[in-house]
Amino acid sequence: MGGVSIKKVVYVILIIAAIGLAVTLFGNRASQDTVLAKEINSFLENGETQIDLTGVTDFNWTQVSVFGPYTSDKAIEDLMDIKFKGDNGGIDILDDRFLLVFAYEKYAVKTVVISRKYGTYTIKDNKFLIVEQ
């Protein structure tokens, strides 16, 4: 009769602990959504001045903000009242782009880099990306 050995139990516990640590370190990280960036960019190229973000996103989010050049991760956290970890698209050091940040509850979930060549951007009603030329 083969029973479960102590070594196997310890091994399983170590694997579960390692997975938990990985989720803690890498979880709640905002990834850059390049597909959404291309979609928004095509709207901008066609002269759209108001884009309904609820119609182009396929993930859950509760708030969205747009940030201009040289915005730090800390400023994003403070202005949105969230934890921001992940891809900021170089917004903190580059002046040719804006960054859309989508958050779910208290964490950023997706970022989208949009070109500054179409104008400046604001968010209206936590839903619309407004282009101001």
Q: Please report, in tens digits, the pLDDT of each residue of the chain (133 residues total).
A: 556 788 887 777 767 766 655 544 455 688 999 999 999 999 999 999 999 999 999 999 999 999 999 999 999 999 999 999 989 999 999 999 999 999 999 999 999 999 999 999 999 999 999 999 7
- What local confidence, expressed as pLDDT, does residue 2 receive? 58
Q: Is residue 98 part of a domain?
A: yes
Q: Is residue 97 part of a domain?
A: yes
Count of structural domains within the chain: 1
Burial class (CB in 10 A: 0-12, 13-18, 19+), 114: buried
Q: Is residue 5 part of a domain?
A: no
Q: Which residues are within 8 A (CB) of 52 and not within 5 positions of it... i.e. 6 or more apart?
A: 127, 128
Predicted model pTM: 0.79
- What local confidence, expressed as pLDDT, does residue 7 receive? 82
